[in-house]
């Protein structure tokens, strides 16, 4: 399929580059470093070879969210966004942008989102999970009450918000002790992000802001397969939910979430997600440079779904959601 749009596609700036070093073997670092720091050359060539018209670019992880000192987080976010705006301006037909945000300071994060959307023309934001605030051992999630005004502004601006993974801190990683291979994209990324998404659903956020749209990568971090059980475990007991939200969590999953194929190129999983959330709420992505464009594109172009669904997932859903 020609004209595909991807929206979990990462870059780095020198200040955040080292954040990506530990996820792959040391001998792969020169290749990954080259991929992360390039925007206009190899990236475009990969896109051209595999039918990608556009990438919506976002900063690597955990980056800003792992900077405990708020003033530095604000500075790095602004510099990353300014750099990205200049790169997008060189080829706006091929690249658009998602803002990095300093959630360590909710007021500044709100201002930066507004600046990026109103002044720089960004299409939304991507945040790497919880933020460390002042104390490096802290883990502040986005259902925290301090973010109420931020979510109100996100709703007002009518832009999507991509909830991207990060690893739990070592102090919260006891379940992985002795099994470090489970960290990162193998398992911990998905588990961490799925719980974060469930917290947002249960908090009442979408009752207050029913227009908000949250994006999850990797075909939903396992939630399509599990959301029914989240709402229906021990159903014979008739126990009422013990959270503020007014609806079952599956309702918000179907009304307020989109999924991407980033880093999960599996037809069976795609079909499960289509059955659970619908093809109108799934979008193509590659997760470049951590995954290959060719692996994503060759799989997607050949997977046995209808032409109508392929066009929606490959392009038109993203055009509609991001107003491209």
pLDDT in tens, 121-149: 999 999 999 999 999 999 999 999 999 99
pLDDT-derived band at 238, boundaries 50, 70, 90: confident
The pLDDT of residue 275: 98
The average pLDDT across 52-67 equals 98
What's this model's pTM, rounded to 2 decimal places? Answer: 0.97
Average pLDDT of 295-322?
A: 98
pLDDT, residue 289, reads: 98
Between helix 249-256 and helix 267-277 the angle, nearest 10°, is 100
- Average pLDDT (77-97) is 98
Q: Which pLDDT value is given to residue 24? A: 85
Instruction: Give the separation between CA 191 and CA 195, rounded to whole angstroms.
Output: 6
**Environment class of residue 223 by beta-carbon count within 10 Å: exposed (0-12), middle (13-18) or buried (19+)?**
buried
What is the set of active-site residues? Answer: 287
Residue owning tokens 């002044």: 119
Cα–Cα distance measured from residue 158 to residue 142, given in angstroms and rounded to the nearest whole number? 18
Residue 231: enclosing H or E segment and its boundaries? helix 223-232
CA-CA distances (angstroms) from residue 208 to 87, 196, 203?
36, 18, 10
pLDDT at residue 278 tops 90: yes
> How crowded is residue 176: how many other Cβ atoms within 10 Å of its Cβ?
18
Residues 24-53 have a mean pLDDT of: 96
Q: Give the per-residue pLDDT at 269.
A: 98
Residues 286 and 9 sit within 8 Å (Cβ to Cβ): yes
Q: What band does 261 get if pLDDT is binned at 50, 70 and 90?
A: very high
> Given a cut of 90, is residue 22 above it in pLDDT?
no
Q: Which pLDDT score is estimated for 37?
A: 98
pLDDT beyond 90 at 291 = yes
Distance CA 309, CA 197 (A): 25
Q: From CA 151, how far away is CA 154, in angstroms rounded?
A: 5
What digits encode the pLDDT tens for the residues 158-181?
999 999 999 999 999 999 999 999
pLDDT confidence of residue 114: 98
Rounded distance, CA 99 to CA 114, Å? 10
Which domains does the chain possess?
4-322 (3.20.20.140)
**In terms of C-beta density within 10 A (0-12 exposed, 13-18 middle, 19 or more buried), how is residue 238 classed?**
exposed
> What is the DSSP code string of 157-192?
HT--EEE---PPPGGG-GGGTT-GGGTGGGTHHHHH
Residue 103 clears pLDDT 90, i.e. is over it: yes
CA atoms in the 13 A half-sphere facing the CB of 216: 26
Which two tokens mark 160?
């999507």
Averaged pLDDT for residues 243-267: 98
Q: Please state, for a pLDDT cut of 90, what percent of the chain lies above it.
A: 97
Q: Hey, what are 299's tokens?
A: 């799989």
Mean residue pLDDT of the chain comes to 97
Residue with tokens 């499960």: 272
Which element (helix H / strand E) includes 99?
A: none
């Amino acid at each position: 399929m020609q004209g595909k749009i991807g929206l979990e596609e990462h870059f780095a700036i020198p200040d955040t580059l080292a954040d990506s070093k530990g996820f792959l073997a040391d001998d792969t670092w020169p290749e990954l470093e080259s991929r992360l720091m390039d925007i206009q050359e190899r990236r475009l060539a990969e896109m051209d070879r595999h039918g990608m018209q556009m990438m919506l670019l976002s900063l690597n992880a955990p980056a800003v969210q792992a900077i405990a000192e708020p003033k530095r987080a604000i500075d790095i976010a602004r510099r990353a966004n300014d750099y990205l705006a200049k790169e997008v301006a060189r080829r706006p037909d091929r690249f658009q942008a998602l803002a990095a945000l300093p959630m360590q300071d909710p007021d500044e994060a709100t201002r930066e989102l507004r600046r990026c959307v109103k002044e720089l023309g960004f299409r939304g934001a991507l945040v790497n999970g919880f933020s460390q605030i002042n104390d490096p051992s802290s883990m502040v999630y986005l259902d925290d009450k301090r973010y109420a005004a931020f979510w109100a502004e996100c709703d007002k601006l009518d832009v999507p918000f991509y909830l991207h993974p990060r690893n739990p801190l070592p102090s919260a990683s006891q379940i992985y002790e002795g099994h470090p291979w489970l960290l990162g994209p193998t398992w911990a990324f998905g588990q961490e992000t799925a719980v974060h998404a469930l917290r947002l659903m249960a908090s009442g956020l979408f009752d207050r802001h029913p227009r908000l749209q949250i994006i999850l990568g990797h075909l939903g971090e396992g939630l399509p397969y599990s959301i029914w059980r989240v709402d229906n475990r021990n159903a014979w007991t008739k126990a009422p939910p013990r959270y503020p939200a007014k609806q079952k969590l599956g309702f918000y999953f179907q009304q307020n979430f989109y999924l991407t194929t980033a880093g999960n190129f599996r037809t069976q999983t795609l079909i499960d997600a289509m059955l659970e959330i619908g093809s109108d709420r799934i979008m193509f992505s590659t997760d470049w440079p951590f995954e290959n464009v060719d692996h994503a594109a060759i799989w997607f172009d050949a997977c046995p779904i209808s032409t109508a669904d392929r066009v929606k997932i490959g392009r038109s859903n993203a055009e509609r959601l991001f107003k491209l």
